[in-house]
Amino acid sequence: MVSARNWFVVGAVVLGGCTLKVGDLSDCKVDADCASKGASLACVDGICVNALPTADAGPDCDGGTCFACQPSTFVQYLNACTGSSDVCSAFDGSRVTLHLVDGGREPLPDVTDAGPVDAGPPVDAGPPVDAGLPLCGANGNPIVVLSGSTASVPFVSALGKALFNDTQPMTVVFQSLGSCIGVSDVLTGQTIQGTGTFWDPESTNPGNAETCLLPAPVVPDIAVSDVFPATCSPLPNGLPSGFGESFGPVQTMTFVVPLASTQTSISAEAAYDVFGFGAQSGVSPWTDPTHLFRRNSGSGTQNMIGVAIGLPAARFQGIDCGSSTGVKTRVTDGGEPEATLGIVGDTDVDATALQSMRVLAYQHDSQSCGYLPDSAAGKRDKLNVRDGHYTIWGPLHFLTKLGTDGYAFNHNAQRLLDYITGVQLPPGGLDLIQVEADNNLVPTCAMHVTRSEEVGPYASPMVNNPCNCRFEFDATQATSCTTCTGAADCPSSAPHCSYGYCEP
């Protein structure tokens, strides 16, 4: 059946507030218990995590803004020095003026006094229809209709192009409606109509994207979401019977500022005040809601960041820009760079975007320092995401209605899901690890930690064929790993040949 095939989760550590709680279950008690999971893992608070080097910072292990010794607790791990001078940027907590006595979050203002707040996603009326457009699947290909997160487009489009002229072709049609709208449509059977995007390798349009007309109002075959379904709406008993969820690569959500801004980091507490209180936040220089640029409560980006900072997605102040492209345009339009702050998925932070804007280091609760998603600005290795030091990340989610056999009701949708989850190799020699590296996504085989709820507890993943080295090379064109064609080429410290590199 369609399930969470790529994830192995045990009860673990809860992030948030000022304490870390260890669950009843654990991966390990001592480092030796982690040996079967990898040679470079250490046992930290019952979780096997990627071991970090010990820095020489004296007996108190104080590395300034980071913990410089081998961590033995998860708080220490979250604050560990990584060796990169520009990756750890502490946010000045004295800039946050709204506090409760017990250290918790200040209650949000009454909605009537809050200024501009999130009005919610637009009513799903479908895109404007051009009657002259071709029908989706007009070339005879069966169609698979996806709706939801725009962050998934680079990943989905690569599969769409590979499948368009495959020996078993299909046309992958996508309608960008926002994560939570896509989830709702699939779970409630809500139909969509109007136009969709598909990808034809022979198209001369940017990204080979073409527009087609859906043949009739249809329920999407697959919802694509940045966030867990329960983040969009309460699901106390899990997914309803007859629906399945698969996981794709991990993506990251970020705070961004114009390149001319002098700001380098933001904390969870500061972000809560800025987007929750607007002009009353007191967190200089982000005190003008007309320069705070966001999505809406149907957006996975806004929902995931909201969970991380403790702010309901519908209570964000600022300007709803309609899309990640809209946020990028407003952040980089040149007006008031110091007062400007936006939120986007890291899939939208490409080389062109980095010419005019910058990602802030993010300092989560219990951290004394802010981390970039990568080990250094512009590095693209997603090391701090993969190790869990940058905390606002989660897998892409693919939801579908199941048939009586436990597989996707549309068998072509099942085939697409099998490519996404690695059950089948993608067609035409498509290299999904390279696609993910090119688009700031992380394959699950390169992750050192995993989680089963939004910005929730960590656990060590079970990966049969790790791709840490391969991903690093594809993302940065460099790796210290040894190349191999078989296990005989590998040293005892990294005895497994996986994806052409020796892995622990």
Per-residue pLDDT of the chain in tens (504 residues, 90 and over written 9): 333 322 222 223 333 332 222 233 356 788 888 777 666 677 877 777 766 654 444 446 765 667 777 777 777 777 777 655 445 788 999 999 887 777 688 899 887 666 667 777 765 445 555 657 899 998 899 999 999 988 788 889 999 999 999 999 999 999 988 899 999 999 999 999 999 999 999 999 999 999 999 988 999 999 999 999 999 988 988 899 999 999 999 999 999 999 999 999 999 999 999 999 999 999 999 999 999 999 999 999 999 999 999 999 999 999 999 888 899 999 998 789 999 999 999 999 988 999 999 999 999 998 988 999 998 888 899 999 998 899 999 999 999 999 999 999 999 999 999 998 888 989 888 999 999 999 999 999 999 888 889 998 887 787 889 999 999 999 999 999 999 999 999 999 899 999 999 998
Q: Count Cα atoms within 13 angstroms, Cβ side, for 114.
A: 20
Q: What is the pLDDT of residue 466?
A: 93
> Of 170, 176, 79, which Cα lies nearest the Cα of 122?
176
Q: What is the pTM of this model?
A: 0.86
Q: 498 - beta bridge partners?
A: 501
CA distance 437 to 461: 19
Contact 118, 398 (CB under 8 A): no
Q: Report the SS3 class of residue 421.
A: helix
H and E: helices and strands count for the chain: 11, 21
Q: Is 19 left (phi over 0), alpha (psi -120 to 50) or beta?
A: beta
CA distance 349 to 386: 18
Q: What is the pLDDT of residue 21?
A: 26
Tokens of 382: 């997603």
Contact 292, 318 (CB under 8 A): yes
CA distance 77 to 209: 43
Q: What is the pLDDT of residue 123?
A: 53
Q: What is the pLDDT of residue 114?
A: 64
Q: Which domains does the chain have, with CATH numbers?
A: 102-122+252-366 (3.40.190.10), 143-247+394-444 (3.40.190.10), 466-504 (no CATH)
CA distance 271 to 80: 22
- C-alpha distance from residue 144 to each of 147, 169, 314, 366 (Å): 10, 11, 31, 44
Q: What is the pLDDT of residue 69?
A: 75
Q: What is the pLDDT of residue 251?
A: 93
